[in-house]
Every structure is written in C-alpha cells, then in structure tokens.
Structure 1
Amino acid sequence: MRSQRATMASSGDPDARSHRRGAWAEGSGHAGPGRGRLAMRVLVTAGSKYGSTREIAHVIAAELAAQGFEVDCLDAHEVLTVNPYDAIVVGSAVYGGLWRRDAEEFIAHHADVLVTRDVWTFSVGLETVVTPGEGHDEAKALGERIGARGHMRFTGALDPDRINEGERALLAPLNPPVGDFRDMARVSEWAQEIGAQMAEIASL
C-alpha cells in the first residue's frame, strides 16, 4: 500500500476531471480532496497480516477523502515520518488482545510527534464477535500514551485456509467463528464521525 498521488484525468473535459477528484482506487496510497479541500492532511495507517484490516483502512481513507481531506494510506511498517500530517488514524489487527508489532512500533517510534497531533485509533478482531466489548485490547494503553481522541473496535474476519499451523493451534481451543464479520457500513459511519471532528478542528 505505497503512497502515490492520485492521478487526475488527463482529458480537458471538466467532467472527467471532477470524476477523478477525491477518487480512491485499490492499490493507490493517496486520495485527493473530495467535496472542497479542507486544510488538513491525514494519514491512515494500519498493521495488517492477511489484508482484512488493510481493507478497513482503505474504506476509512476513501471516506475521509470524500469529505475533502488530503489523505495518504500506508501500512504501518511503510511510514517513515508523520511530520507532514495534521491528523492520523492508526489501527491494527488484534490477536489475543495485542496489536500487531508493526502498528505498536509505529506508535512507539512516532510517539513524540503523535502527542502533538490529532489521533484516532481502531482495532480489528474477533473478540468483538465472541464477547462484544469485553475482550482485552492494548489499544487503550497505546491511545492514552499519545492522547488519542477516540478509539473504535471493529469485527474482523477469519479464513482458516489463510492462517498457518501455529495460528490454527492457538485458535483451536477458542473455537472462534469462521467467516467475514466486518461491517463496512459501520466503518464508513465512523470515518464520517471522525471526519466531522477533523473538519471542526480545521475550522478553528
């Protein structure tokens, strides 16, 4: 998920240009502003192993771009600096209540800057399917460390054919539900909610 500038339509047709404005394409790490550019640059980043959390990050980035923000979307391990960004949305897949190491290290490495930015966090895991709101999630401690404005937990997906033998052995006693439980409509709603908060901040 490498950052790229969204390519504007080369046609001189204004309709073609407006169609590309704020577009978000799978595989592109950058989305230009949508409904009128807002003076805030946003980074959406996540730690994802099998791709389901990355897809959630894409949905968040696309929604924020549609709201008028300049958005970059990167895997956590790809982020070299957060200095150019006014706001950061960082998330991770959750395994046994723990964030992936790349997402945790992203916060640890950039903590000094993150505490000076507006940050939101999200977690993706099956704990919310089995015991809604009860599973341990280290996101609370990580968020407190950087003064995150808010946190959201989303249900994840489990495809037993994609995980390795060690992971199968760990999951077997838990007998977790198998399938894709992600609610992308709720992801979009949350992105709209934090986008409204960002817009309010940008107007100050």
Structure 2
Amino acid sequence: MESPIHRIAVIYATAQGSTRDIAEFIADDLAGRGAQVELSDIEHAPELSRFDTVVLGSAVHDMALLPVATTYLHTNHTALAATDLWLFSVGLGPALRGPVGRVLARRVPKKIAALRDSVAPHEYHAFAGRFDRDRVSRPARTLHRLMGGGRYGDLRDWRAIRGWSARIAESLGLPEATTSIVQP
C-alpha cells in the first residue's frame, strides 16, 4: 500500500529576505522527502483547505510578527485551526548572547505568545535572521550590544532550521530526504 502524499503549504512574511530564505529551505527539504509543497509569500497565500499541513513564518519587528502575518493569522483562524499548523519567526532574539541576551533569547515576546496561543500551532520556533549593521540606526546598534548582541551579518543557524524541518517531516511520517539541501 502506497503512503499518502502530504500536501504542505509553506507561507512566509518577510521584511528583508531572511524569512523567505528559511521558508524556501524548509519547502525544499519537505519536497525532497516526497511531500507536495507549495511555497508562497503571505500576500499570495493559497487556499488553505487544499493542504494537510501549513508551515507559516514571519519576520519579527518591534517584538511582534509583521502586521501582514498577524492579520493573516486572525483572518484565517478557523482554517488554520483545521490543519496541522507549524509556526516560526525570524528575528534578532535567538542570536543574543551574554547574561541578558540569553534570558531574552529564551523569551517569546508577549504579542507573539498571545498570537501563537490563539492559533495553537503544533510547534512554534524562533530563528535568528540577518542583522546587517548598515541597515540599522546607531541607537539600535547600541541596544543590540547592550542586550548581548555584537555580531552582525547572517546569524541564521541552518543546523537548527534543518532539525526543525526534520521534526515536521518526522511528525508527518515522511522519509529521509532523497537529496541534500544546500543552505543559502
């Protein structure tokens, strides 16, 4: 007996591209395991009733998901509740170091926690993104250093992203990837 093909929507809201890159990586990994995957930015998201699983990611700004992601989650609450939802965010928090940074990195901001709890995803995971020094103001750079930051550039942990994607695949009973996905 042939196992069913899992239909997965990977939807993302990005500000500078980090979230899109992570969503693409997850979509490629799940497709490489035999799932039927559709990747879409949130503004062109497909009809959710066609999918068994939804993986939704958003960039984090001002300790909240992007407004377009928040609106999408509220607007599609009923459809998302009827599917296997996996939620991720991409921001600076997970990359913070030092005593203050480590505490902040483990905390889910209140707005994100409230939204996460309202849609009850299978799992939520926060990933670090890109933090380019030339794209942020001097006060933001100072705050970054005080919170335990210090590094700039691509702070994404591709091993953690691959591991989270593997957890999604395992929960769906998907086989090991047939090809190795190369991170950006």
Normalising by structure 2, what TM-score? 0.79
RMSD: 2.1
Q: Find the aligned partners of 1:37 and 1:168 in 2 and give their Cα distance.
A: 52
Change (3 A) 1:194 1:97: same
Aligned to 1:160: 133
Aligned to 2:113: 140
Structure having the higher helix fraction is 2
Gapped runs of 5+ residues in structure 2? 175-184
Contact residue 97 and residue 138 of structure 1 kept, 8 A: yes
**Counterpart AA for 1:184:** W
Aligned to 1:63: 29
Aligned to 2:178: none
Paired-residue identity, %: 27
Aligned to 1:3: none
- Aligned to 1:193, the other structure's residue is in SS state helix
Question: How far 1:41 moved relative to its partner?
Answer: 0.5
Gapped runs of 5+ residues in structure 1? 1-35
Question: How far 1:137 moved relative to its partner?
Answer: 5.5
Q: Find the aligned partners of 1:44 and 1:186 in 2 and give their Cα distance.
A: 18
CA deviations on 1:59-109 (whole Å, 9 max, x unpaired) are: 111111111110011111111521211110111111221001111122111
Question: How far 1:37 moved relative to its partner?
Answer: 7.0
Change (3 A) 1:195 1:170: farther
Q: Find the aligned partners of 1:137 and 1:93 in 2 and give their Cα distance.
A: 15
Q: Find the aligned partners of 2:173 and 2:139 in 1 and give their Cα distance.
A: 43
Change (3 A) 1:38 1:69: farther
- Aligned to 1:138, the other structure's residue is in SS state helix
**Counterpart AA for 1:64:** L
Question: How far 1:144 moved relative to its partner?
Answer: 1.9
Runs of 4+ in 1 over 4 A off after TM superposition: none
Structure with higher Rg: it is: 1
| Aligned equivalent of 2:81, options 104, 115, 120 | 115
User: Which stretch of the first structure deviates more once superposed, 78-87 or 44-53?
Assistant: 78-87
Equivalent residues, number:
161
Q: Find the aligned partners of 1:42 and 1:170 in 2 and give their Cα distance.
A: 41
Question: How far 1:154 moved relative to its partner?
Answer: 0.8
> Aligned ranges for residues 190-201 of structure 1 at < 5 Å?
190-199=164-173
